[in-house]
Amino acid sequence: MVLVLALGDLHIPHRAPDLPAKFKSMLVPGKIQHVICTGNLCIKEVHDYLKTLCPDLHITRGEYDDDARYPDTKTLTIGQFKLGICHGHQVIPWGDLDSLAMLQRQLDVDILVTGHSHQFTAYKHEAGVVINPGSATGAFSSITYDVNPSFVLMDIDGLRVVVYVYELIDGEVKVDKIDFKKTTN
Amino acid sequence: MPETTSSRGGSHCYVELRGVQWRLGLGILPSSPSPSIDDLRRVTANYRRRYAALRKQLLVDPHVPKDGSNSPGVVMDNPLSQNPDSMWGRFFRNAELEKMVDQDLTRLYPETGSYFQTTGCQAMLRRILLLWCLSHPEYGYRQGMHELLAPLLYVLHVDVERLSEVEKSHKDHFADKFDGFTYHENGDSTYKLDFKKFDGSDSDKSSAKANNLTELDPVTQTIVLLSDPYGAESELGIVLSKKFMEHDAYSMFDALMSGAHGVVSMAEFFSPSPYGSSLTGFSPVIEASSAMYHLLSVVDSPLHTHLVELGVEPQYFSLRWLRVLFGREFSLEDLLLLWDEIFACDNTKCKKVEAEESSNCGVLDSPRGAFISAFAVSMILKLRASLLATGNATSCLQKLVNFPNDVNLEKLVAKAKSLQALAAEVNSLNSIMLVHNEVKPASARGHSLSLDSSSYPRTLLNVVPESYWEEKWRVLHNEEEHKQGVGKEEVPKIRKGWSERVKLRLSRTETDPPPLMKTVSIKLPEEPSSVIRSLFGSDENKENSVCDEVVEQQGSVEVADKKFGSGEIPLNFSDPPSPIHGLENSSVASNSSVDENEAESCGTHREGCPPVGVSAVSNGPPSEYDIQNDESTGKSVAGVKERSFSGKFLWLRKFEQNGVEGATCEGCDNSCESSKGETVDQNTMVSLRNLGEAMLENIQVIESVFETGSPENGKVTAMSALNELRKISNLLSQM
């Protein structure tokens, strides 16, 4: 029963001032065990805020991040799952599933979390799952129209991961749930 | 395993089975009429079923969809949901509770090899505590509950071990010979029903094979019957069962906390809110602590006053004692013995002569409660010598809190038993008033401004909020109106009137004086000159009027002794009281000390009071020590008159200066006013107090006038007293 928060592409302060208030009220410290951030925070204050949610924070570098010390990719193991993080601007064509799958195989992870497209997607293919949490602030994107703020919460429990997607549509938080089971190989 | 002696008839068979014994004592197993084994089994089974159902209901797994349907919209039931009713919300709340419980559990009997630190035991403890707290949300989890639960689980564990020992030695009673029969195909016509052949176990050489159950000794017999898987309720009814240890421990814990329809319920000690019908409005712990102190005062008054003077409030150390039932003061083995005794006591409410529910300390009102209180007192008495030797509160507290480990528990228990009857009796007296007394006397010291040395710490007083005392006062007053006789009614009523204004009021020791204390009411002789008499009269009234100030009788005596140092002050008034009101008795006591207070406060207010009126007083002394049945005056004067001479001098000075009789009242009024004017920097309350006293004194004067049948001077006195009262009320209304 491990809760992992995945978000990214906040673009604070350049494209957005802050997280939506409804999201902020939901994200309280104490519930979440890990935070994964795909990148493009962009400033240190956002990093500190995420740190308050949970001390275990993993960030990869997006192209607009101020801090150049974040790695390009990162892997971690939570429970039975191996997770990989990458911002995604390095993987061309942006958002292409096959290329991302290639990256996933390179990193050898079950769940790959990427961003950059500012749009929530969750693909399952034979090697694993690719999740894009979208932009948590709904920041402008040159490749996507009508960006809705969104983020993802993963509930990792044994061999099963439940992905809760929180989207702010028309001022209302909509939640959706996707189940993934890992086949032991 | 140490054996306990049980005094309960019909349960001798369970003597060695602490788990069963305690369950009987706690009320889980029916104890009367003497139950059959089957009854026990059935009741046990019922409790276990209840626990299993509770567990199913309360332990939340958020992954399991409710009712089989898809959860009512993921919007409601996601982990970040703000909705408190969502499964996830409950889950997180449980997780928090669990964290708290875990913190305590890791520190439970942490010595290596301790049974309590094994994972199995810890898991059971955690679950039990969680479920109890979830089913009693009004209490939540408080530190200390785990310590109450741990010995319960331990005795069950010990019982189960005992059971396995018995099993080993009496295998055939436990062997279930229904498995693994092979069909022997042998040519010889052996009887297939010959069990001995199929009994694969090695023959027990240690114990004789008792084929017949009745040949076993009764204890083993009971054990066998209790754990027979074919008895009533079959496996669920096996009273000593490892599988159901958690269930049994839960029911024991629940019974202990809730009191099982008895009086003493441990949960009360954890709650900050006042106990049911309590009038005092205090939390039960404080009530129980003060009841204990009251018992101490009855049993050993010097020690009690010593502690009270130092400002050692009972709940500082007794909180821990009571909440964990002395679990932290003794080692586990000793604790088990102690709890044997506690649970052997009946927990039903004591029946009182008159059904005055208001008059007792509700929390401890049963033989079990009496025993607990008595045991606490006996613990304090054990430390008597060292407590009396220390002069400051911190070290007293330290001694009490670090109770020595190497005490002889049997002695303490024996002493507690001897005190138990007294405790029960004492509980049913006006213990509420004494609640006030116990808690307040410390502040009395603070108010007697010039009283004694700085050794008495006054810092404790500041902790108490103002309204606390006022409230107590009001409650006390209500109590008194019911209890005390008519004669006292006037006094309390008056007091109530101005008590609202006065902060840090103190109750008076109106109750029956402790039997160890001998009080003397010494009344004025009947024939001093009328002048002097009236002087004394008003003076006495004034003194009487200050009854409401509490100082412990003995304490005041001692203090007075130090103060005046006149060697011939009789510390011990050995004369038995003649038929006297409780009021007079107590007013005697309080008067004595109050005199000093008065004296001192007067002293500080007015400078250079020449002791005048010595002559007047000196006529008095020889007769003062006579005890007289003085219905006519109806006044009582403390025998400590002599001691209070200087105090009187100050008052009398005013009287003489202002003339006789009627002037006395004015005198006091003037003095009060002057006091107000002079002592701007003094507490307003001191002046208020003086005002109040003056009022009271006036009223006493009027009282006395009526009692004496109104002689002429009496009438004048009464009129002037009424005038004074009017003046004072004007003053107060202006303030």
> What's the pLDDT score for residue B723?
82
A19 CB-contact burial (10 Å; exposed 0-12 / middle 13-18 / buried 19+):
buried
- Structure tokens belonging to residue B134: 């979830």
pLDDT tens string B78-106: 777 777 777 788 888 888 888 888 888 88
The runs of H, that is alpha helices, within B259-350 are 266-270, 284-299, 301-310, 314-323, 332-344
Q: What is the DSSP letter of B486?
A: G
**A58 neighbors A74 (Cβ within 8 angstroms):** yes
Q: Which residue of B has its CA nearest to A177?
A: B74
Q: Round to whole Å and give the CA distance between A105 and A112.
A: 10
**B594 neighbors B557 (Cβ within 8 angstroms):** no
Residue A14 has pLDDT above 60, yes or no: yes
Residue in B74, B82, B92 closest to A164 by CB: B74
pLDDT band at B479 (very low <50, low <70, confident <90, very high): low
pLDDT band at B191 (very low <50, low <70, confident <90, very high): low
pLDDT tens string B244-281: 888 888 888 888 887 766 666 777 777 766 555 455 56
The mean pLDDT of B277-305, rounded to a whole number, is 76
> What's the pLDDT score for residue A103?
92
Q: Packing angle between helix B582-605 and helix B684-708, nearest 10 degrees? A: 130
Cβ contacts of A166 on chain B, cutoff 8 Å: 78, 80
- Complete domains list, chain A, with CATH: 2-181 (3.60.21.10)
Residue in A155, A174, A176 closest to B79 by CB: A155
> What's the pLDDT score for residue B575?
40
Cβ contacts of B73 on chain A, cutoff 8 Å: 175
Q: Round to whole Å and give the CA distance between B496 and B130.
A: 48
- Structure tokens belonging to residue A37: 């951030």
Residue B76 has pLDDT above 70, yes or no: no
The mean pLDDT of B582-597, rounded to a whole number, is 40
Query: Nearest CA of chain B to the CA of A103: how many Å?
Result: 30
pLDDT tens string B344-394: 777 776 655 443 443 345 666 777 778 888 888 888 888 888 888 877 888
Query: Nearest CA of chain A to the CA of B69: how many Å?
Result: 15
Q: Round to whole Å and give the CA distance between B516 and B168.
A: 59
Residue B118: CB partners within 8 Å, gap ≥ 6? none
Supply φ then ψ for residue B381, to 5 degrees. Answer: -65, -30
**B594 neighbors B544 (Cβ within 8 angstroms):** no
Q: What is the DSSP letter of A12?
A: B
> What's the pLDDT score for residue B362?
60
**B310 neighbors B393 (Cβ within 8 angstroms):** yes
Cβ contacts of A162 on chain B, cutoff 8 Å: 63
Residue in B74, B80, B92 closest to A177 by CB: B74
Number of residues assigned to chain B: 735
Cβ contacts of A174 on chain B, cutoff 8 Å: 75
Residue in A25, A157, A164 closest to B78 by CB: A164
Cβ contacts of A173 on chain B, cutoff 8 Å: 75
Number of residues assigned to chain A: 185
> What's the pLDDT score for residue B261?
64
> What's the pLDDT score for residue A74?
93
pLDDT tens string B497-528: 444 444 434 444 334 444 444 333 333 344 43
The mean pLDDT of B443-453, rounded to a whole number, is 36
Query: Nearest CA of chain B to the CA of A147: how many Å?
Result: 21
> What's the pLDDT score for residue A86?
94
Residue in B63, B75, B79 closest to A3 by CB: B79
> What's the pLDDT score for residue B525?
41
> What's the pLDDT score for residue A109?
92
> What's the pLDDT score for residue B481?
58
Residue in B63, B78, B92 closest to A175 by CB: B78
Q: Round to whole Å and give the CA distance between A9 and B387.
A: 70
B59 CB within 8 Å of a chain A CB:
no
B510-513 long-range contacts (CB < 8 A, ≥24 apart) are B510/B433, B510/B480, B510/B484, B510/B547, B510/B582, B510/B583, B510/B586, B511/B429, B511/B430, B511/B433, B511/B434, B511/B437, B511/B582, B511/B586, B512/B429, B512/B430, B512/B582, B513/B553, B513/B585, B513/B586, B513/B589
Query: Nearest CA of chain B to the CA of A106: how many Å?
Result: 32
B659 CB within 8 Å of a chain A CB:
no
Selected residue with higher pLDDT from A53 and B734: A53
Query: Nearest CA of chain B to the CA of A176: how many Å?
Result: 6
B64 CB within 8 Å of a chain A CB:
no
Query: Nearest CA of chain A to the CA of B80: how many Å?
Result: 6
**B93, B99, B73: which is closest to B134 by C-alpha?**
B93
> What's the pLDDT score for residue B282?
67
Residue B706: CB partners within 8 Å, gap ≥ 6? B718
Residue in A27, A153, A174 closest to B75 by CB: A174
Helix (H/G/I), strand (E/B), else coil: B278: coil
Selected residue with higher pLDDT from B663 and B695: B695
> What's the pLDDT score for residue B34?
66
A177 CB within 8 Å of a chain B CB:
yes
B270, amino acid identity: F
Residue B570 has pLDDT above 50, yes or no: no
pLDDT band at B155 (very low <50, low <70, confident <90, very high): confident
The runs of H, that is alpha helices, within B106-144 are 119-135
Q: What is the DSSP letter of B277?
A: T
> What's the pLDDT score for residue A45?
92
> What's the pLDDT score for residue B336?
84
**B229 neighbors B174 (Cβ within 8 angstroms):** no
Residue in B73, B74, B79 closest to A31 by CB: B79
B276 CB-contact burial (10 Å; exposed 0-12 / middle 13-18 / buried 19+):
exposed
Question: Using the beta-carbon criterion (under 8 Å), do A176 and B74 form an inter-chain contact?
Answer: yes
Q: Round to whole Å and give the CA distance between A70 and A62.
A: 9
- Structure tokens belonging to residue A33: 């065990």
Percent of chain B with pLDDT over 70: 46
Selected residue with higher pLDDT from B495 and A30: A30
A2 CB within 8 Å of a chain B CB:
no
B63 CB within 8 Å of a chain A CB:
yes
Question: Residue for token digits 């038929």?
Answer: B579
Supply φ then ψ for residue B282, to 5 degrees. Answer: -100, 165
Q: Which residue of A has its CA nearest to B76?
A: A175
pLDDT tens string A102-134: 999 999 999 999 999 999 999 988 878 999 999
B75 CB-contact burial (10 Å; exposed 0-12 / middle 13-18 / buried 19+):
middle
Model pTM score: 0.56
Q: What residue ranges in A8-135 does DSSP mark as E strands?
A: 34-37, 57-59, 73-78, 81-86, 111-113, 120-125, 128-133
- Structure tokens belonging to residue B516: 């160890």
Q: Round to whole Å and give the CA distance between B130 and B141.
A: 8
What percent helix, strand, coil does chain B show, rounded to 5? 60, 0, 40
Question: Following DSSP, what letter does each residue of A156-180 receive, concatenated?
Answer: EETTEEEEEEEEEETTEEEEEEEEE
Which of residues 70 through 129 in chain B touch A, CB cutoff 8 A?
73-75, 78-82, 92
**A166 neighbors A149 (Cβ within 8 angstroms):** no
Question: Using the beta-carbon criterion (under 8 Å), do B75 and A153 form an inter-chain contact?
Answer: no
> What's the pLDDT score for residue A151?
93
B486 CB-contact burial (10 Å; exposed 0-12 / middle 13-18 / buried 19+):
exposed
pLDDT tens string B525-567: 444 344 444 444 344 444 443 333 333 333 333 333 344 333 3
Query: Nearest CA of chain B to the CA of A173: how many Å?
Result: 8
* Site from A5, A157, A177, A180 to mutate, B interface, most B CB atoms within 10 angstroms: A177
Helix (H/G/I), strand (E/B), else coil: A4: strand
Q: What is the DSSP letter of B65?
A: P
pLDDT tens string B385-434: 888 887 788 888 888 888 877 778 888 888 888 887 777 777 665 444 44
Cβ contacts of A157 on chain B, cutoff 8 Å: 63
Residue B125 has pLDDT above 80, yes or no: yes
Q: Round to whole Å and give the CA distance between B547 and B699.
A: 13
> What's the pLDDT score for residue B14?
62
Question: Using the beta-carbon criterion (under 8 Å), do A164 and B80 form an inter-chain contact?
Answer: yes
Cβ contacts of B82 on chain A, cutoff 8 Å: 25-26
* Site from B60, B61, B78 to mutate, A interface, most A CB atoms within 10 angstroms: B78
The mean pLDDT of A69-97, rounded to a whole number, is 92
The mean pLDDT of B671-689, rounded to a whole number, is 57
Of the candidate ranges A56-70, B213-227, B616-630, the one whose mean pLDDT is the lowest:
B616-630
* Site from A1, A154, A179 to mutate, B interface, most B CB atoms within 10 angstroms: A1
Cβ contacts of B93 on chain A, cutoff 8 Å: none
Of the candidate ranges A146-160, B297-311, B406-420, B520-534, the one whose mean pLDDT is the lowest:
B520-534
- Structure tokens belonging to residue B570: 């009789």
pLDDT tens string B217-246: 776 777 777 777 776 667 776 777 777 888
A22 CB within 8 Å of a chain B CB:
no
A31 CB within 8 Å of a chain B CB:
yes
Query: Nearest CA of chain B to the CA of A167: how many Å?
Result: 11
Residue A34 has pLDDT above 60, yes or no: yes
Mean confidence (pLDDT) of chain B: 62
Residue A100 has pLDDT above 80, yes or no: yes
Edge to edge, what strands does the sheet with A120-125 contain?
A73-78, A81-86, A111-113, A128-133, A120-125
Question: Residue for token digits 């002050």?
Answer: B569
